[in-house]
């Protein structure tokens, strides 16, 4: 199902259903005890339908849930296309992973009914809705039958109505990194009836890392590097810089291709190998960049990795990743690679990768960031993304070369 279609249904049908459910909950409120979470919950569901990179940013939240409720089964509900990451990171046992297929309207509705019935049979103690102002996720939190429903509230924000049936709600805070806000959702599980319930939460710094790990066999990473050198001999005895120049589902997040080409030319001239990564859909972009760079040291790696696991192995084999805002920058934090991530339509202050091995690059012009939860990530940009175009390539090249010189192996 197209993204625009999903937004239309969520806005018009979703708001109507949220009003109906809210009226029903208010009608029953005088006859219902206040929802509280017991000291030893058995089943907690986390709804996380966003892009795959959000799963990495939610890593500290899952770690806190496991520490706080060691006897609980942590269930995860995701879109089917995003489930690969959760399985790779072993966020929970496979039998506790649930999915929705959004490839068509019929499949999505069928899966919503199936999952809702399955969750009701589990008798969930609580559900945590990690989506910001999505109505479908709010409705799912209700249809699962969980008495304690945790999620974000727009409070007095107009036009973001998602009902009043999330009974342990916290205000969405556009000035706090999303990883800290995910942790506040865990705090809200045990909070009282005052609003905002995040007042009872702990005071935390930004998480130092994702608290996630992917285990590799002892010989797996050296074998992958050797295979990479056989497939692309130019990377042997060279430092390797990876570039992700695609914009994914939001093209306005892409740093200009000409800027990438300029940096790649400078890196190749300095004796560095450059690998252009991405999905098969990015193959034409990679070819265009190669034509601009005109160097045998610039290789096309689009479609080279067949899974997220292989992408992480490629990151282990490289020294630096230069990337647009998106999944690769977050996946890189699971490996030793250094990253340089461009932000503009969205901000690194809210969605920046966790950890110390990354550098966020932003221009800071007046209209940036323009994508937010308040506009459902619909930018008013006319396609001329000056926030990224104004990040000049020469300083980026200088930063990259400085890092590579510091980390170059000594002979």
- The domain boundary, picked from 171, 200, 229, lies at 200
209 is a domain residue: no
Q: Are residues 125 and 189 in the same domain?
A: yes
The distance from CA 138 to its chain's CA centroid, rounded to whole angstroms, is: 19
| Residue 366: DSSP 8-state | T
Q: Are residues 241 and 345 in the same domain?
A: yes
Q: Are residues 137 and 188 in the same domain?
A: yes
pLDDT of 239 = 98
Instruction: Look up the pTM and report it.
Output: 0.94
With a CB cutoff of 8 Å and minimum separation 6, the contacts of 17 are 135, 139
Q: Are residues 152 and 229 in the same domain?
A: no
Q: Are residues 149 and 266 in the same domain?
A: no
pLDDT of 249 = 79
Residue-averaged pLDDT of the chain: 93
339 is a domain residue: yes
Helix axis angle for 135-143 and 105-122, nearest 10°, is 40
With a CB cutoff of 8 Å and minimum separation 6, the contacts of 44 are 65, 69, 72, 73, 74, 75, 124, 125, 126, 127, 128, 189
| pLDDT mean for each 10 residues of the chain (411 residues) | 82 94 95 89 96 94 97 97 94 96 92 97 97 95 96 86 92 93 93 64 89 94 97 97 91 95 98 96 96 98 96 98 96 98 96 96 95 84 92 98 92 58
Give the span between the Cα atoms of 256 and 254, in whole angstroms.
6
Q: Are residues 284 and 181 in the same domain?
A: no
- The domain boundary, picked from 200, 231, 248, lies at 200
Q: Are residues 53 and 150 in the same domain?
A: yes
Give the CA distances from residue 392 to residues 34, 240, 253, 259, 398, in Å, rounded to whole numbers and listed in that order: 56, 22, 15, 7, 11
179: containing domain = 3-200
pLDDT of 194 = 55
208 is a domain residue: no
Q: Are residues 24 and 65 in the same domain?
A: yes
Question: What are 330-388's pLDDT values in tens digits?
Answer: 999 999 999 999 999 999 999 999 999 999 999 999 999 999 888 877 888 888 999 99
Q: Are residues 258 and 116 in the same domain?
A: no
205 is a domain residue: no
205 closest CA partner among 173, 183, 186, 172:
183
Q: Are residues 99 and 161 in the same domain?
A: yes
Q: Which two tokens stand for residue 405?
A: 């010189």
Question: Which contiguous run of DSSP H or E holds residue 43?
Answer: strand 43-47
Domain CATH for 287: 3.40.50.2000
pLDDT of 247 = 86
- Structural domain count, the chain: 2
Q: CA torsion, points 142, 147, 151, 153, in degrees to nearest 10? A: 80
64 is a domain residue: yes
Q: Are residues 109 and 226 in the same domain?
A: no
């Amino acid at each position: 199902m197209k993204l625009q279609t999903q937004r239309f249904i969520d806005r018009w049908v979703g708001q109507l259903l949220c009003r109906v459910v809210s009226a029903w909950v208010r009608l029953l409120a005088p006859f219902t005890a206040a929802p509280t979470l017991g000291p030893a919950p058995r089943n907690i569901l986390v709804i996380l339908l966003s892009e795959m990179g959000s799963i990495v940013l939610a890593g500290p939240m899952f770690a806190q849930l496991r520490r706080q409720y060691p006897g609980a089964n942590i269930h995860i509900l995701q879109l089917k296309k995003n489930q690969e990451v959760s399985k790779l990171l072993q966020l929970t046992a496979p039998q506790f992973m649930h999915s929705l297929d959004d490839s068509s309207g019929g499949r999505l509705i069928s899966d919503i009914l199936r999952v809702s019935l399955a969750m009701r049979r589990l008798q969930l103690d609580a559900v945590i809705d990690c989506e910001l102002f999505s109505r479908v996720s709010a409705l799912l939190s209700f249809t699962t039958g969980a008495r304690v429903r945790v999620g974000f509230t727009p409070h007095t924000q107009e036009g973001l109505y998602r009902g009043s049936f999330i009974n342990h709600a916290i205000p969405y805070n556009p000035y706090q990194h999303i990883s800290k806000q995910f942790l506040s959702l865990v705090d809200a599980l045990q909070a009282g009836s005052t609003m905002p319930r995040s007042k009872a939460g702990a005071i935390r710094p930004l998480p130092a890392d994702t608290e996630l790990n992917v285990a590799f066999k002892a010989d797996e990473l050296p074998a992958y590097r050797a295979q990479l050198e056989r497939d692309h001999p130019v990377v042997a005895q060279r430092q390797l810089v990876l570039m992700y120049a695609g914009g994914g589902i939001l093209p306005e997040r892409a740093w200009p291709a000409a800027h990438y080409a300029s940096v790649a030319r400078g890196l190749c001239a300095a004796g560095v190998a450059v690998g252009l990564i991405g999905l098969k859909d990015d193959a034409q972009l990679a070819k265009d960049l190669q034509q601009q760079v005109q160097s045998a040291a610039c290789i096309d790696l689009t479609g080279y990795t067949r899974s997220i696991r292989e992408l992480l192995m490629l990151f282990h084999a490289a020294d630096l990743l230069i990337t647009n805002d998106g999944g690769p920058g977050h996946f890189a934090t699971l490996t030793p690679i250094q990253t340089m991530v461009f932000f503009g339509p969205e901000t690194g202050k809210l969605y920046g990768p966790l950890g110390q091995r990354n550098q966020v690059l932003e221009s800071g012009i007046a209209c940036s960031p323009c994508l937010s939860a308040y506009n459902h990530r619909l930018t008013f940009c006319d396609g001329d993304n000056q926030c990224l175009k104004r990040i000049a390539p020469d300083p980026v090249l200088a930063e990259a070369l400085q890092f590579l010189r510091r980390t170059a192996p000594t002979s």
